[in-house]
Amino acid sequence: MNEKSSTTALLDETQSKKSYPAKVYSARSATSALAPGTIQRRTPRPHDIQIEILFCGVCHSDLHQVRNEWEGAMPTVYPCVPGHEIVGRVVKVGTAVKKFKEGDIAAVGCLVDSCGVCPSCREGSEQFCDGPATFTYNSEDKQLGGVTYGGYSESLVVTEAFALRVPKQLDLAGTAPLLCAGITTYSPLRHWNVKKGQKVGIVGLGGLGHMGLKFAHAFGAHAILFTTSPNKAEDAVRLGADEVVVSKNPSEMQKHLASFDFILDTVSAPHDLNAYIDLLKRDGTLTLVGAPPTPSPVNGFGLLFKRRQLAGSLIGGIRETQEMLDFCGQHGITSDIELIRIQQINEAFDRMLKSDVKYRFVIDMASLK
Tens-digit pLDDT profile for residues 111-157: 999 999 999 999 999 999 999 999 999 999 988 899 999 999 999 99
Among residues 269, 362, 283, 325, the alpha carbon closest in space to that of 62 is found at 362
Q: Please give the average per-residue pLDDT across 67-91, as a whole number.
A: 93
Structural contact between residues 334 and 27, judged by C-beta atoms closer than 8 angstroms: no
- The predicted pLDDT at position 3 comes to 45
In angstroms, the CA 182 to CA 169 distance is 17
Give residue 357's identity as a one-letter amino acid code: V
The answer regarding whether domain 181-312 maps to CATH 3.40.50.720 reads yes
In angstroms, the CA 50 to CA 156 distance is 6
Q: Dump pLDDT digits (tens) for 219-242.
A: 999 999 999 999 999 999 999 999
Helix, strand, coil shares of the chain, percent, nearest 5, are: 30, 25, 40
Lowest pLDDT segment from 10-14, 166-170, 257-261: 10-14
- The predicted pLDDT at position 17 comes to 64
Q: Please give the average per-residue pLDDT across 348-359, as a whole number.
A: 94
Structural contact between residues 155 and 22, judged by C-beta atoms closer than 8 angstroms: yes
- Going by pLDDT thresholds of 50, 70 and 90, the confidence category of residue 293 is confident
- Going by pLDDT thresholds of 50, 70 and 90, the confidence category of residue 37 is very high
**pLDDT at residue 69 above 70?**
yes
- Going by pLDDT thresholds of 50, 70 and 90, the confidence category of residue 4 is very low
Lowest pLDDT segment from 69-73, 220-224, 344-348, 355-359: 69-73
The span from the first CA to the last CA of the chain, in angstroms, equals: 45
In angstroms, the CA 281 to CA 258 distance is 4
Query: How far, CA to CA in Å, does 194 sit from each of 44, 215, 218, 247?
Result: 40, 10, 10, 22
Are 14-180+316-368 and 181-312 equal in CATH topology? no
Tell me the percentage of the chain whose pLDDT exceeds 70.
Answer: 95
In angstroms, the CA 66 to CA 100 distance is 32
* Per-domain residue ranges of the chain: 14-180+316-368, 181-312
Q: Which residues lie below 8 Å from residue 73, measured CB to CB, with a gap of 6+?
A: none
Q: Please give the average per-residue pLDDT across 203-213, as a whole number.
A: 97
CA angle 235, 207, 211 (to 5 degrees): 70
Q: Please give the average per-residue pLDDT across 286-314, as a whole number.
A: 93
The answer regarding whether domain 14-180+316-368 maps to CATH 3.90.180.10 reads yes
Give residue 39's identity as a one-letter amino acid code: I
Residues forming a β-bridge with 106:
88, 165
Query: Exposure pattern of 21-51 as b/e (b: 16+ CB <10 Å)?
Result: ebbbbbbeeeeeebeebebebbbbbbbbbbb
- For the chain, the average pLDDT equals 94
